[in-house]
Amino acid sequence: MRQALRGLTTRGRAFVAAGITASLCALLLGQKDLLRVGILLVALPVVAALVVGRTRLRLQVRRSLTPNQIAVGSQATVELALSNQGRMPAGLLLLEDRIPYVLGHRPRFVVDRVSPNWRRTVSYPVKSDVRGLFQVGPLMLTVADPFGLVETSRTFTRSQHLLVTPRVYKLPEIRLGADRAGSGENRPRAIASAGEEDATVREYRDGDDLRRVHWRSTARRGELMVRREEQPWQSRCALFIDARTISHHGHGPSSSLEWAVSAAASIGADRIRRGYATTMLGGPTTLAAINHRSSSAVHQPLSSQQLLTECATVEEHRYAEVGPLLTVDRHAQEPSLVIAILGACASEDITALNRWRTSQATGVALVLDAASWAVGAEATEKAARLTAATDATENELRRNGWRVARVRRGDQLPTVWSGLGLRTGRIA
């Protein structure tokens, strides 16, 4: 009852104030009819609060999200299956599902009466033009009286997550000089040389044969190491996305960062499909996350699903330098292909990129001309400086043996990608 009285609406408070005022005036003027009106005005919200307070709902909600992963611009459907497990009927109900504004307006459903064993299914669409991981729910239930004098709200705890992935483009097949991927018995094999110093080793795992322990490497590294005498060779691709604030311009889906994220997802998915063991740096593995994740976790090859999830959650950050974002695991097999999606870089950043890319790896860089994404006064003030910095970055990367493509606003990724190598005449 106390909670219901706290749930008086504006109309309910107005009734109470008018009733008290009318009662006081009736006592001063000696008007019995006016006193009856005043008592009625006060009694109505009290009775409504009593009815709402005695409402005992055992409402159950089952939520289904179909599908739970969509691409930018696609639509998903949320379905709510409602049922009343209680024996007491209820009056007017307002159901509101909490969703982020980027998924659309919050859906509201009005139920005029809930009887015992009542069931109902409602659904609504959600759509986002922005990538990310969004929470759908929880459901908020509002119980009100028919006159709108009192209402109380209750919130369910369960919710679901909708993953909105960046747009992925189908890329033309090009030759980059780093294709060593194979499959099955025909896959090339990396065989360790006979000498002790040339043995390929890795950390000891439970179940490894102790006869394969490489004692010299164990003594040098201070942990148990075993020999990998022969293993299938698989081409490796290391992908880096520059998500620094200083490297991008624009806002929302049309920003340079969104172009870069879509490019990373498309290129990564293309490499995985072609048999590359692909890793990605610079997205979710930045700043605090880069310090908390182990080197082996950062450099674990990604599946297509993991890649899309990481790309969907890339966030712009204010880190100043590229170097600390390129966490290199020297114990892992070196990549044969490194791909960097960059904005304008300082000389220290290019030095770090060259150190990240080994001498035998093919280096590919997509350099975003962020000035072309700047608009209005921002473009006038910064265009010349940004263009000069982008020119310097492109020239320096070319001098260091990188294959470079300059990207401007409006450029299509498949066209940019096809210009980085020799076309084979086939579309993958």
Query: Is 160 buried (19+), middle (13-18) or exposed (0-12) by CB count in 10 A?
Result: middle
Per DSSP, 408 falls in state -
Instruction: Extract the tokens encoding 49.
Output: 């609060």
Helix (H, G, I), strand (E, B) or coil at 258: helix
Query: Measuring CA to CA, which residue among 284, 304, 301 is closest to residue 238?
Result: 301
Tell me how far apart the alpha carbons of residues 201 and 212 are, in angstroms, rounded to a whole number: 9
CATH of domain 233-422: 3.40.50.410
Provide the H-helix boundaries in 125-246.
215-221
Provide the H-helix boundaries in 7-158.
10-29, 32-53
Contact 325, 291 (CB under 8 A): no
Query: Is 366 buried (19+), middle (13-18) or exposed (0-12) by CB count in 10 A?
Result: buried
Query: Is 175 buried (19+), middle (13-18) or exposed (0-12) by CB count in 10 A?
Result: exposed
Give residue limits of the domains in the chain.
1-54, 59-165, 199-230, 233-422
CATH of domain 59-165: 2.60.40.10
| Number of other residues whose CB lies within 10 A of the CB of residue 180 | 15
Q: Which residues pair with 300 in a beta bridge?
A: none
Contacts of 314 (CB under 8 A, 6+ apart): 241, 243, 257, 261, 264, 283, 284
| pLDDT of res. 183 | 43
| pLDDT of res. 306 | 92
Tell me how far apart the alpha carbons of residues 343 and 406 are, in angstroms, rounded to a whole number: 10
Contact 198, 192 (CB under 8 A): yes
Report how far apart, in Å, the C-alpha atoms of 172 and of each of 46, 182, 307, 365 are: 72, 20, 20, 17
Query: Is 58 buried (19+), middle (13-18) or exposed (0-12) by CB count in 10 A?
Result: exposed
Q: What is the chain's pLDDT, residue by residue, as a tens digit (428 residues)?
A: 566 667 788 898 899 999 999 999 999 988 889 999 999 999 998 888 887 776 666 788 899 999 999 999 999 999 999 888 766 666 678 889 999 999 988 899 888 777 778 888 999 999 999 999 999 989 998 887 778 888 888 888 889 999 999 999 999 988 886 555 444 344 444 444 334 444 577 777 777 778 788 888 888 888 888 876 554 557 889 999 999 888 888 888 889 999 999 999 999 999 999 999 999 887 654 444 444 444 445 557 889 999 999 999 998 888 778 887 786 654 456 788 999 999 989 999 999 999 888 777 899 999 999 888 877 655 556 666 778 889 999 999 999 999 999 999 999 999 999 998 744 433 33
Q: 73 in the Ramachandran plot: left (φ > 0), alpha (ψ -120 to 50) or beta? A: left
Contact 167, 71 (CB under 8 A): yes
| pLDDT of res. 327 | 67
| Number of other residues whose CB lies within 10 A of the CB of residue 245 | 13
Contact 152, 395 (CB under 8 A): no
Tell me how far apart the alpha carbons of residues 117 and 386 are, in angstroms, rounded to a whole number: 66
CB-facing half-sphere around the CA of 245: CA atoms within 13 A: 4
| Number of other residues whose CB lies within 10 A of the CB of residue 68 | 12
Peptide bond into 172 cis (omega under 30): no
Tell me how far apart the alpha carbons of residues 335 and 324 are, in angstroms, rounded to a whole number: 19
